[in-house]
Amino acid sequence: MASPTVDKNVLAQGREDLVALFRISALHGYNEAIDNHFSLAVDGHDDLFLLNAYGPHWSETRTSDIVLVDLDGNVVDGTGSGAITAMQIHRQLHRARPDARCIMHTHMPYASAVACTKGGFNERLTQNAMSFYGTVATLSYGGQVEGDAEGLRLAKAVAKGANVIFLQNHGVIVIGKTPAQAWLRTYFLERACEVQVLAQSTGDELVLAPKKVAQLTNSQWEKNSDEEAPPLFAAMKRLLDRDQPRWNR
């Protein structure tokens, strides 16, 4: 069982927030079968994080499917276990970046498509893209994450301040200070990638904003995201309340 020093209300809220992330991600088509994974560091316990157990489809994930894990990859509360890749990625990222409280790894289609292009993500193409200006890292594909070496390689990117990692030939990792911020970033990243793919498909020359404008947009986004993320996340939870009663049970 989890340490008695862990606040049960904190765990309950964390599990509910992760379930919300999985279900709204499934609504948007960000899931790939039963794969991919999200984690949430436990407030007051930098050595513990919540993670989805491997098996359930995101659209059916419940609070009982969220396990509590330590930084060594041991499940200390809950039933089931995370996938090997999930354990390696999330424990290394949380260890490397304590402020990376919520980590979302997806193979969402447009971001994954952009990750397969030589030019990669264009941070100056749209307003949404510019919100990530200077906070994106791109890493080559290193195979499935089954050992410490690959997890540590990913950790180095977030340790340097990246909030988004494009994994070439693979997918993306998005981090946030809260589940709400992680969702905000994930949603608008996919929208930015969708527009990029559509713009590139026209074959016409792309119009890029000046670097100074992109930098300004990022600073405005970062300043406002703490206020904008919670209402968006709350709205998504209301949709779940309306369409999926008892989703948080």
83 has pLDDT over 80? no
Which of the four pLDDT bands, split at 50, 70 and 90, describes residue 88?
Answer: confident
- Closest C-alpha among 25, 23, 68, 80 to residue 43: 68
Q: Is residue 85 part of a domain?
A: yes
4 has pLDDT over 70? no
Q: Is residue 156 part of a domain?
A: yes
Q: Is residue 89 part of a domain?
A: yes
Question: What CA–CA distance (Å, rounded) separates 86 from 132?
Answer: 25
Mean pLDDT across the chain, nearest whole number? 93
- Closest C-alpha among 35, 37, 70 to residue 52: 37
Q: Is residue 88 part of a domain?
A: yes
Residue 64: give the domain boundaries: 8-243
**What pLDDT, on the 0 to 100 scale, is given for residue 44?**
87
Enumerate helices (H) and strands (E) in the chain, giving the number of each. Answer: 7, 8
Question: What CA–CA distance (Å, rounded) separates 222 from 216?
Answer: 10
In 161-241 the beta strands, taken as DSSP E runs, fall at 164-167, 171-176
Q: Is residue 249 part of a domain?
A: no
What token pair was written down for 103?
């980590």
Q: Is residue 114 part of a domain?
A: yes
Residue 123 sits in a domain whose CATH number is 3.40.225.10
pTM for this prediction? 0.95
- Closest C-alpha among 102, 104, 71, 76 to residue 88: 71
Q: Is residue 33 part of a domain?
A: yes
37-78 pLDDT per residue, tens: 999 999 888 899 999 999 999 999 999 999 999 988 889 998
Question: How large is the average pLDDT for residues 9-32?
Answer: 97
Number of domains, the chain: 1
Q: Is residue 2 part of a domain?
A: no
Are 114 and 120 spatial neighbours (Cβ–Cβ below 8 Å)? yes
Are 173 and 115 spatial neighbours (Cβ–Cβ below 8 Å)? no
Question: What CA–CA distance (Å, rounded) separates 88 from 79?
Answer: 19
34 has pLDDT over 90? yes
Which of the four pLDDT bands, split at 50, 70 and 90, describes residue 32?
Answer: very high
